[in-house]
Amino acid sequence: MSPDLIDPLKAQLGANGLPYALPIHPNLVHLTLGLFIVAIAFDIVGVLFPLEKPIFKFLAIPATRSNFFDVGWYNMLAAAIVTFFTVAAGFYEVMLAEPATGVKSAWGLEAMDTMLWHGLGGILLLMAIVGMTVWRGFQRFVWRKEMARQVQWGYLWAGLAIFVLMFAQGTLGAHLGGDFGVHVSADRLLQLGEDPNALL
């Protein structure tokens, strides 16, 4: 492609080098995190319900154990669906990224290494969340269908282990934005000598 054609294409891109004003991936990341955390948290509350029942009764909260498990299931299912879009948006946006060079993150990684690990971590988390959703579905509809406690302890421990992976993955994402300026709108506008308040 000739330079004459590349410049007009770049002019159509937003401050982040994306064909839209603000990156989509960070917003979907927080939706994935919220849905997954709520799913595990409500399942934990459901498992511990016999201990909490007097508290709910004292506070006049009409809670039933099955309601907590319903919230856990539907949030886990939603997390699995949203995570496909989160990972897809992440790969699309990272392909258009122009990270700072000659800089190392707090973990001692350069931009390309950080993007590689963040991408692999995204795929690993997608597989883990989908696996947890399938596991949760079997517990809900097959294995523990008639039981008061709908989830196994192993499932909850696996969910808490995934929190650790999410923390590491989120830290790599934060390094991409904070250390390398990848798709940080205000940072990109300042580099271009423009007013970051133009996005508001």
The domain tally of the chain equals 1
- The answer to whether residue 16 sits within a structural domain is no
Q: Give residue-wise pLDDT tens across range 142-184.
A: 887 777 678 889 989 999 999 999 999 999 888 887 777 776 6
Q: What mean pLDDT do residues 38-58 have?
A: 81
Whether residue 166 is contained in a domain is answered as yes
Q: Give the pLDDT band of residue 6 (cuts 50, 70, 90).
A: very low
CA 124 to CA 104: how far, in whole Å? 24
Please, which pLDDT band fits residue 32 given cuts at 50, 70 and 90?
very high
Give residue 127's domain range.
24-182
pLDDT, mean over the chain: 80
Q: Is residue 5 part of a domain?
A: no
Closest to 80 measured CA to CA, from 140, 148, 25, 31? 31
Q: Does 99 have pLDDT greater than 70?
A: yes
pLDDT value of residue 1: 47
End-to-end CA distance of the chain: 35
Q: Which two tokens stand for residue 149?
A: 């406690």
In a domain, 188, yes or no: no
Between CA 17 and CA 20 the distance in angstroms is 8
Q: Is there a domain that residue 1 lies in?
A: no
Cβ(132)–Cβ(159) under 8 Å? yes
C-alpha 118/C-alpha 132 separation (Å) is 20
CA dihedral 147, 153, 157, 158 (to 10 degrees): -50
- Considering the chain, what percentage of its residues have pLDDT values greater than 90? 32
Cα–Cα distance for residue pair 192/15, rounded to 1 Å: 8
Helix axes 153-178, 111-138, angle to 10 degrees: 160
Average pLDDT over residues 48-62: 72
Is residue 165 in some structural domain?
A: yes
**Domain for residue 19, yes or no?**
no
pLDDT tier for residue 45 given thresholds of 50, 70 and 90: confident
In percent, the amount of the chain with pLDDT more than 70 equals 78
Domain-embedded: residue 187: no
